[in-house]
Amino acid sequence: MRVLVIGSGAREHALVLAAAEDPAVTALACAPGNAGTAAVSEQLGVDAVDPDSVTKLAVGWKADLVVVGPEVPLVAGVADAVRAANIACFGPSAAAARIEGSKAFAKDVMAKANVPTAHAEVVDNPAHLDAALARFGPTWVVKDDGLAAGKGVVVTTDFDVARKHALMLLDGGHPVLLETFLDGPEASLFCFVDGHTVVPLLPAQDFKRVGDGDAGPNTGGMGAYAPLPWTPKGFVKEVVAKVIQPVVDELVARDSSFSGLLYAGLILTADGPQVIEFNCRFGDPETQVVLALLRTPLAGLLYATATGTLAKHPPLEWDQGSAVTVVIAADGYPGKPHTGDVIAGGEAEGVLHAGTRRRDDGAIVSSGGRVLSVVGVGDTLKAARKQAYARVEKVHLAGSHHRTDIAQRAARGEIATPVAK
Ligand code: AMP
Ligand code: GLY
């Protein structure tokens, strides 16, 4: 099987590494990729968000399977175009990708499917903002109703901060979504979905804030771990039954059936798991830890998803231990990152690349905000943390920063879901 992965983050590096280990894979390419993916796969140029560009590349390279990593190409219809050229594609149609691309669409689907989620209101007129804010908060949750790479959300107890963020979004022509604040620990659950059949992966937790102790602004994700030792028994089954399957069925009913990876971002409240968002693709950085533990050959699984044959696929097999990833970010991130700095130790084991490129002189340099995602595994969460942080210590990038508390509270047994009042 000739497999072409589209994207250039650490998620794609993890996908390429896992696919490379699948004996069914005869050729592997990544476009546009980064310095890390270039070490394990053929590197090809593409305009990843342009359906024609991706399709031409896939046809020319004779791909048997195209795997689309990021959401923007999916929302733009890349998977539709690839499939129209008779090539299997892992990733939903543009119609189904609206589950991530439009928060209002996702809310509408959830309401129809009876899926537990925060109450929300869309505000598109600044004149209605103050009255709407008065119906929420404190705490206020203010979101951009569109793709914002995890950075369009402000959660605050300060009315003025909430109002200012909403006005900034409205000024930019973006409708604003106000939501009820949900209290509890977060979990990400990824599921393979081939239109009808749902196969869940291990649950993971992402760390969205830039600083230790969840301080500072939201980012694309600063670290993750899997599995989650603190989730209640039957958690995955419950989420599949109450959240994923009803949404999958509702999308079929709307003639927008979902094929690819459906990712539920959840908060485990006292009233049970509630959805904060859906994504239409693998999450980053959770993919780096989930795939580190997956034993089942990945490419076959992605192909079964893309071709509607998941029901016939054998059950997934997992390593028994835990995995932790720590993101090393460039100076300035999540604001404008400093780029072009030389990375030392970037080719060591467990070091996945995101914003990196190889300079003409052979040096690996930073080229984005999230630069590396360093993965450690171990029999316990504590051991996996230890390995991840030992590996982080061996990497050097001037001015970089990372969180030092990824998976710490979980490893200490300090996370619990709130108890119903
Ligand atoms: P989102 O982009 O919708 O995933 O939101 C980014 C982050 O904001 C989430 O990971 C949560 O930490 C937080 N968040 C979003 N919605 C809510 C909510 N309704 N209640 C509490 N926290 C939220
Ligand atoms: N881990 C967050 C995301 O991929 O959106």
pLDDT tens for 77-104 read: 999 999 999 999 999 999 999 999 887 8
Domains and CATH numbers, the chain: 2-93 (3.40.50.20), 119-180 (3.30.1490.20), 183-312 (3.30.470.20), 322-411 (3.90.600.10)
> In the predicted model, what is the mean pLDDT of the chain?
96
User: Ligand 2 pocket by C-beta < 6 Å: which residues?
Assistant: 150, 206, 221, 279, 283-284, 286
DSSP SS3 for 13: helix
pLDDT-derived band at 137 (thresholds 50, 70, 90) equals: confident
Q: How far is CA 192 from CA 93, 285, 300, in A?
A: 15, 17, 12
Tokens 């749902």 label which residue?
198
- pLDDT of 55 reads 98
- pLDDT of 250 reads 98
Å from CA of 228 to ligand 1 middle:
19
Tell whether ligand 1 has an atom less than 6 A from the beta carbon of residue 103.
no
- pLDDT of 218 reads 87
Q: What is the pLDDT of residues 268-291, one digit of tens each?
A: 999 999 999 999 999 999 999 999
Q: What is the pLDDT of residues 19-46, one digit of tens each?
A: 999 999 999 999 999 999 999 999 999 9
40/52 Cα distance (integer angstroms)? 26
- pLDDT of 417 reads 84
pLDDT-derived band at 144 (thresholds 50, 70, 90) equals: confident
Tell whether ligand 1 has an atom less than 6 A from the beta carbon of residue 288.
no
Residue to mutate, 12, 263, 326, ligand 2, most ligand atoms under 8 Å from C-beta: 263
- Whether residue 186 is predicted with pLDDT greater than 90 in this model: the reply is yes
Tell whether ligand 1 has an atom less than 6 A from the beta carbon of residue 262.
no
Å from CA of 310 to ligand 1 middle:
31
Å from CA of 147 to ligand 2 middle:
12
Helix (H) / strand (E) containing 205 = strand 205-206
- Whether residue 420 is predicted with pLDDT greater than 80 in this model: the reply is no
Å from CA of 77 to ligand 1 middle:
26
Average pLDDT rounded to a whole number, residues 304-317 = 98
Query: How many of the other CB atoms lie within 10 Å of CB of 226?
Result: 29
Q: What is the pLDDT of residues 111-120, one digit of tens each?
A: 999 999 999 9
325/327 Cα distance (integer angstroms)? 7
- pLDDT of 44 reads 98
**Packing angle of the helix pair 103-113, 94-101 (nearest 10 deg):** 100
Å from CA of 282 to ligand 2 middle:
8
* Global confidence as pTM: 0.94
Q: What type of residue sits at position 316?
A: L
- Whether residue 421 is predicted with pLDDT greater than 70 in this model: the reply is no
- pLDDT of 148 reads 58
Lowest mean pLDDT among 136-140, 255-259, 390-394: 136-140
Average pLDDT rounded to a whole number, residues 241-261 = 98
Å from CA of 155 to ligand 1 middle:
7
Nearest CA to ligand 1 atom 13: 155
17 vs 150, higher pLDDT: 17
Residue to mutate, 119, 143, 276, ligand 1, most ligand atoms under 8 Å from C-beta: 276
